[in-house]
Structure 1
C-alpha cells in the first residue's frame, strides 16, 4: 500500500537567538527573527530530486531502527575512507531485519534498503527517477565537533539520536534540514555546524561513473552496483580495500620560512623557501645526486644521475627503468588560514553553476564543509606522454580538516521551531588559526602514496605542469588544447645493447638541443571549483638544495599563493 504522507510541511516564521559558549544572549523565545525556508532556495532539478529523496529517507530513518543500524554499519566500513554509504552500491543489500512498521501501523515485508524506501514514495516512478538521475547519490554520516555525533558513537536505538537529514547543495553552502521528529524544516546558515545527530544526502565526490576512457592513473578498481551501473575511484588512495589513509603530519610550525640557524650572535637567513625538519626526509640517493656534481658541474641536473646514472666523468649511460618514480612528497596550504579554509569549503559547481551565485563567490566568509567530510585534493600532471592521447594524468588524496588546519570551536545555541513549540539546538563555529603539512614519503603498506611515474625522457616532455584543486565535484570534462611539447633529442634507443636499452648522451642536453613541436591534444580533468596552485617543473630543476646556514640538504619546495608542494623522485625498487 503506497503512502501519501510525503508532503511539504507547513512552514512558518522561525524564531531564534544566539550566543557564544552555550549562553543565550537573549533567552526569550518570543523574539521573532526571520530565517530562510527551503521553498525560498533556488534549487536545480538534481537538487530537488536530492531533497525528495531526503524527505523520504528522513521519515524512513525516523520510523525504522533497522535502517539506522544499517546506515551506521555501512558508514563504519568506510569503503572510500570516509563515512559514506553510496546508495546504488547498497540499495539491494538485505537489512538485518525483515519486517518494518510504518507510521500508519501497516506491516511491511521488504528486506532491502530499496524495498523499504519504496514505501516512502507516492509512486515507484519517483524513486526510479531519482536512481536514474543521481548515480552518485550518497548518505554521509558526519563527525561533528566536540564528539557530539559520529558513526562510531551513534546509538541507533536511542530516540534522542534519530538524525535530522541534511541536503548538500551544488551551488550553496546553505543546508536544507529535514527534522521529522519535530515535523520541522529549515535552512541551516552556512557558518554553523550542528551539534546534534545529522546525516547528509549528497553526491559522492570520490567516485565517478565508470567509462573506459578515463584518465585516472592511480585507479584500478571498478565497483559494480549489480543493476548496470559501475563506478571507479578517482584514485586508489580512496579505496579502503587497497590501503587505509594514514598520512604522517610532521610539522605544525605555522608557516614556510627561512630561518636563523647560526645562533643569536651569527644570524643567517636561508635564501630559499623550505619547511623546517624536511632535511630529515632527504634520501641517500638524493644526497648522492647533489654531492656528485657539487663544485664540479655548474647548475647540474640531479635527475641525470638518478635516472641515467650520469656523473661528471660518466656522461653517457643507460636509463635505470622503474627504480625511481616522481612523486608528491609533501603538501601544505599557505596564506591566510581562515581565508583558505573558507575558500576550500565553498560549494560551487563549476560545470553547472547557479547564475545567481556566479558573482557572489566572496559574498560571505562564513563557510564550513561539514556536509562533505574530508577534503578531496586533486592533482593534474601534464607530462605530454607520447604513448597516450591525453596531455595530462590525474591523481588525488583526501585529508581531514585537522590534517591541514589548526583550529578551535566556539559554540552557539539557536532556537528552532515555531512558537509555542520551541527547542534549542547547539551548533559550532570553527576558528581557524594555522596550517599543518602532510608528508607522503612513507613506504608503509597503508600509507597514502602520490607516485606518478618515472621521468623517462624518451616518453615524456622536459617540463611537467602540476595543477592542484580541492575537488567539489567529480564531473570529468574533456577539452582540446594547443600544446607545445619539448623532448630531449640526446636520449635514444641503443639497438646494440640487448633489449634496446635507452641511453642518454651527455649531461643536461649534451651536444643536442630540445625538440619543440606543437599540436592539438586532449586535456581530461575533474571539474573542481577551488584552484589551489599551478607549478611548472623542468627535468633540470634541482631536487634538493643546500642550506648555507646549517649545510643540510632540503627538498625543493614549489609554492603558490595557497599551497606548497615537494615534487621529487622516490625510490620504489631496491
Structure 2
C-alpha cells in the first residue's frame, strides 16, 4: 500500500518542482508583479468595429500561416522590399499575388478542422489562402472595403529574436503568432499559431516570432478614387488607388535639389554671414538671401538657398519621451504623464515599426489673409531616437512558455537630417519676404493613423514693407531695400489656416522661427559653428538655410 501511495505522491512532487523550475519567472516586487505578471484576459479587451475586423483578419491569417509555407515566404519577401521604407506588407497590394500550393501534412490544433487547413495549403493566391477561415466571403469583402490600408508588419525585435531578415519560413518553429493593434488600448491582443488567444501588456516586447496587423501610416487612399468598386464583388484596387503621404516614405521619389553641404554641414555663405554680422547689428539671413551688408543695403533675392529642418531630438526625460510617443491617443485624452495606470502611460512601441512625425509649417502670407503652409512628414526608427538597453525573461508553465523583453530607455539621440544615411528630405521654402511673413511657426506631432480632420486656426506674423518685386531691366526681381525692416516699421498680420490634422496623434508642441534669428552660432569653447536650436518643450530642432543650387 505504501508503495502504491508513493508513486502518485512522487509524480505530483516532480510535476510541482518541474513546473516551478521551468517557469523561469524572475523574483518580483509588488510593483513589478502588478506591471508584468498580471495576465490580461483576452475577453476583457474593448474592441470597436475596427478592432473586430482586424481580429477576424488576424485569426484567418494565423491559421493560413500554419497551413501554407509559401504564404510565409510571400509575406517575408514583401516585407523585405520595404516598399514604404518599413517592413510593411499592404494587404490590398499583395492579396492577388501568386503562391505555390504545398500539401499540408501537419495536425489540427483542435480548433480548426484539418480539411480547412489542407484547402488553404492548396491556394494559389494570398487571398485564397486566408479565405477558407472566414465564415463566408462577405466577411473578407467587408474587411477589404472598410480597412483599405490594412497592413501586415514584420517587426524587428530586439536582441535578434525575430525579424524579416532572420525569419526562416521553412522552420515550423518560426510560424509567427499574429498580433493586431487597437484604437482602444495600448495592450496588444494576439492570435497564437495554436489557436489560443492572449494579450501582451503594453510595456512588454515579445521575444518570439510574431507579426502585426495594423493600418498603414505612410499611405492614404487617393481622394479622387473610390475606396472600393461597388459594382463588383471584390474590392479591386491597386497601387494607383493610393499615394504616399510624403515623399520621404517613397523609396523611388526623386530629389532634384538635394541639400549641398560641406564636411561640417555648414555652408560657407552662412559662415560669412556670421563673421560679418557677429560684431555688427544686422540679420544673417539678410546676407544669406540678399547679400546685404553695411555698405550694400539693396539686393535681389537668391534662390540658391532654402530653409531646411536640419536636426531633431526629443526633449526632456528620455523615458517620458518614449512612453509619450509610443501610446495611441485621441483628442481629449489626458496627458500620459498625469495618468497613473501603467497600461495607458507605458508602451514598448514594438508594433509601430518606425515612429512617424508630422511637422506643420506656417509661413504666413504678405498679400493674402489665408496663410501659406506645408506639412512635412518623416519616419525614424526607435534606435535612431533613443539609446536603449534590453533584458529578457521567460514566463509561463511547462506547457506554455514565452520569452518577453523589457526595454530600458537610456537617453535620446539627435538626428542630423543632412546625414545621407537617413535618406530624408526636409526641405521647406526659400524665405521670400515678399511672399511670406518674417515669423514661421512649426508645430510637431507623432501620429498613428492617416485619418484626418480639418481644423481652422489663426497665426500672427510680422510683415516687412521693404521687400517687393521690381522690374530690373528685363528681369523681375525680388528686391530688399534697406537692412532689417528698412525705413518703415514692421506690421503684424494675422493669417487664417485650414489645416488637416491627424485624429490620433501625440502633440509635441510648437515654436516660432524668425527671419531675423541667427541661422548659425559659434560654440565659444570649441569654435565650431552650429545651427541654432529651437525648442517646443517636447522637441528640440534646428532650421537652417541650406544650398540647393549653384
Specify which of 375, 379, 394 is matched with residue 394 of structure 1: 375
- Is the contact made by 1:209 and 1:229 (CA closer than 8 Å) also made in structure 2? no
Deviations 1:174-198 (A, max 9, x none): 01011132x3111111121111100
1:74 matches 2:54: no
Equivalent position SS for 2:400: strand
Segments of 5+ residues of structure 2 without an aligned counterpart are 1-18, 29-36, 105-112, 226-234, 256-261
Query: Aligned-pair distance for 1:44?
Result: 0.8
Equivalent position SS for 1:521: strand
The residue aligned with 2:215 is: 203
1:187 matches 2:195: no
Q: Distance in 1 between matches of 2:327 and 2:336?
A: 12
The residue aligned with 1:48 is: 52
- Is the contact made by 1:337 and 1:405 (CA closer than 8 Å) also made in structure 2? yes
Structure 2 CA distance for partners of 1:439 and 1:209, relative to 1, 3 Å: same
Q: What is the TM-score with the length of structure 2 in the denominator?
A: 0.83
Structure 2 CA distance for partners of 1:330 and 1:360, relative to 1, 3 Å: closer
Q: Distance in 2 between matches of 1:18 and 1:327?
A: 58
Q: Distance in 2 between matches of 1:573 and 1:367?
A: 44
Q: What is the TM-score with the length of structure 1 in the denominator?
A: 0.80
Specify which of 484, 487, 492 is matched with residue 463 of structure 2: 487
- RMSD of aligned C-alpha atoms? 3.1
The residue aligned with 1:220 is: none
Q: Distance in 2 between matches of 1:498 and 1:557?
A: 41
Residue correspondences, number: 496
**If each structure's helix is expressed as a fraction of its own residues, which one has the higher value?**
2
The residue aligned with 2:390 is: 409
Q: Distance in 1 between matches of 2:155 and 2:410?
A: 22
The residue aligned with 2:360 is: 380
Specify which of 318, 325, 337 is matched with residue 306 of structure 2: 325
Q: Which segment is superposed worse, 198-207 or 518-527? A: 518-527
The residue aligned with 2:290 is: 308
- Is the contact made by 1:99 and 1:107 (CA closer than 8 Å) also made in structure 2? no
Specify which of 215, 231, 251 is matched with residue 242 of structure 2: 231
The residue aligned with 2:183 is: 170
Query: Aligned-pair distance for 1:545?
Result: 1.9
Q: Distance in 1 between matches of 2:59 and 2:242?
A: 26
Deviations 1:460-508 (A, max 9, x none): 1111001111112222221222343432221111124323111111111
Structure 2 CA distance for partners of 1:429 and 1:205, relative to 1, 3 Å: same
Q: Which segment is superposed worse, 359-368 or 169-178? A: 359-368
Q: Distance in 2 between matches of 1:483 and 1:337?
A: 31
The residue aligned with 2:346 is: 366
Query: Aligned-pair distance for 1:320?
Result: 0.8
Specify which of 51, 57, 61 is matched with residue 57 of structure 1: 61
Equivalent position SS for 1:55: helix
Structure 2 CA distance for partners of 1:349 and 1:203, relative to 1, 3 Å: farther
Specify which of 553, 561, 568 is matched with residue 529 of structure 2: 553
Q: Distance in 1 between matches of 2:528 and 2:319?
A: 33
Q: Distance in 1 between matches of 2:340 and 2:244?
A: 31
Q: Distance in 1 between matches of 2:315 and 2:455?
A: 30
- Is the contact made by 2:357 and 2:445 (CA closer than 8 Å) also made in structure 1? yes
- Is the contact made by 1:63 and 1:103 (CA closer than 8 Å) also made in structure 2? no
Deviations 1:313-336 (A, max 9, x none): 111111112x11101111112211
Equivalent position SS for 2:277: coil
Query: Aligned-pair distance for 1:112?
Result: 2.1
Structure 2 CA distance for partners of 1:133 and 1:532, relative to 1, 3 Å: same
The residue aligned with 2:109 is: none
The residue aligned with 2:174 is: 161
- Is the contact made by 2:533 and 2:540 (CA closer than 8 Å) also made in structure 1? yes
Segments of 5+ residues of structure 1 without an aligned counterpart are 1-16, 27-32, 214-223, 245-277
Q: Distance in 2 between matches of 1:360 and 1:338?
A: 14
Q: Which segment is superposed worse, 35-44 or 137-146? A: 35-44
Q: Distance in 2 between matches of 1:325 and 1:294?
A: 22
The residue aligned with 2:411 is: 434
Equivalent position SS for 2:273: helix
Deviations 1:397-437 (A, max 9, x none): 11111111111111121216xxxx72211110101111211
The residue aligned with 2:323 is: 342
Query: Aligned-pair distance for 1:550?
Result: 4.0
Q: Distance in 1 between matches of 2:415 and 2:499?
A: 28
Structure 2 CA distance for partners of 1:18 and 1:291, relative to 1, 3 Å: farther
Query: Aligned-pair distance for 1:24?
Result: 4.5
